[in-house]
Structure 1
Amino acid sequence: MDPVVLSFQDSLLRRSDVSLLEGPHWLNDQVIGFAFEYFAAERFKALGASAAFISPEVTQFIKCASCPGELALFLESLGLASRRWVFLAVNDNSDRSAGGSHWSLLLFHRAAHRFAHYDSQNGSNSLHARRIAARLEPFLGAAGAGPGGGRPPVYDCGMYVICIAEALCQELRMEAEPRLPPQVITPGYISGKRAEWRRLVQSLAQDGLR
């Protein structure tokens, strides 16, 4: 048995998913997808339609889609052409299935007409990020994926993606490029965030929020 702990927007977290937050386990698609859903619906809902948080499953589809026509129709439905900021969780899996062994964050910034890539393992996901950026460029009018602002030596990659996205959203200005505050995403900070997200899931589950 793996009972459902929380249903939130389009995310469904089971007991096995929530247990990953206890550490030292790597986070899966479901946990990162929930975090992005929570950012859009609650934490950063003031950003409204200016920001899009693309789930890991959708990002993987964009990376691996083999039919340009199919991809074009799919991307049109996302309405990305009007977004100032697009956050994508990138994994290193090479097919459409969930999984992989490493996560990073790809951010599209419309005002700068470019992508930034935030990778906690010295750019090991660069090829995957560039592939996704190349797929999106015709629809966004963007330059290729470049390095992000600061890559501290943190290897809890899934939680790193969530924390970087949160920190960037806190710094967002509609006409300025967000900058990560120096020395913020430390191993201690990451560990604390794991506990914080676990408490949040428990609180939402107890409140019966859907």
Structure 2
Amino acid sequence: MPVLHYHDVVLHAEDVASLDEGQWLTDSIIEFHMEYLERNHQTPGNDVVTLLRPGMVQLLSHTQEDVTALKPVLPPSLSTSQAVFMPINDGVPESAYSGSHWSLLVYLHQTQKCYHYDSIRDSNLDQARLTAQRLSSLLELPRPISVIPMACPQQTNGADCGVHVIALVDYFVRKIQETSDIETLVSVDSDEIAATSMVRKRLLSVIKDESHERKFLDQS
């Protein structure tokens, strides 16, 4: 039974349980976080930021069709917003449950480049490059999008990659409203990134507040 229906996102008990310390976040939690940011006006608008959901990123990266055929099912703001945020997963469609790592890819229209933030060095760099290649074709750019690996906080266990992605999205959504300087925008100040334990607790609190099944959550 679903724990929470939040607009287009459905969370189940296993999704909420993935917020416990030491657990690997489900893609539904990352999707919920993006949906919640947009719905609560914590993003500066689609003309500035597009938060591409995990499922959409996988579709873009691994479709066997011409990627331009995906335009009707992807956000129209993809080609107009200043920044596109894409959670990257190392899973492949032909192997169910094969994904084991999340990272964040950020595309800036001003530079026509992607910036890759990976909490386990460059583990997902190949996947990020594939997504950037597909995005370049989708946007029909005159040249391929280059991917620049960027420094960011590194995880200290095998489970916090998705939490790092959420913390980085929060950080950049704030930052893009504060500065237009590209060098400042793409760099990460580790002191301003929320601790993973706090990210987990905050999301759990938000889900509890939003849930019509609060009694179930309080007992879990």
Scaled to the shorter chain, the TM-score interval is: 0.7 to 0.9
**TM-score normalised by L of structure 2:** 0.83
Letter in 2 for 1:10: D
Partner residue in 2 for 1:152: 153
Deviation sequence 1:94-114 (CA, Å, 0-9, x none): 226565100000111111211
Kept in 2, the 8 Å contact 1:57–1:98? The answer is no
Kindly provide the amino acid, as one letter, of the partner of residue 146 in structure 2. Answer: G
Alignment of 1:72-83 (within 5 A): 72-77=68-73, 78-79=75-76, 80-83=78-81
SS state at 1:129 partner: helix
Give TM-score scaled by structure 1 length: 0.87
The separation in 1 between residues aligned to 2:23 and 2:190, in whole angstroms, is: 26
Identity %: 25
- Tell me how many residue pairs correspond in the alignment: 201
What is the CA deviation profile of residues 72-126 of structure 1, one whole-angstrom value per residue up to 9, with x for unaligned ones? 1213542211121111111001226565100000111111211000100001000
Find the partner of 2:62 among 56, 61, 64. 64
Residue 136 of structure 1 and its aligned partner are, at CA, apart by 0.5
2:10 maps to: 12
**Greater helix proportion:** 1
Whether 2:147 is the aligned partner of 1:176: answer: no
Amino acid at match of 2:204: R
Tell me, yes or no, if structure 1 residue 124 matches structure 2 residue 129: no
Displacement after TM superposition at 1:64 (Å): 0.7
- Amino acid across the alignment from 2:91: N
Equivalent residue for 2:206? 200
SS in 2 for 1:136: helix
The amino acid of 1:152's aligned partner reads P
Runs of 5+ consecutive residues of structure 2 not aligned to the other structure: 215-220
One-letter identity of the residue aligned with 1:159: V
CA contact (8 A) 1:116 1:147 kept: yes
Work out the CA distance in 2 between the residues paired with 1:152 and 1:87.
18
Structure 1 unaligned segments of length 5 or more: list them. none
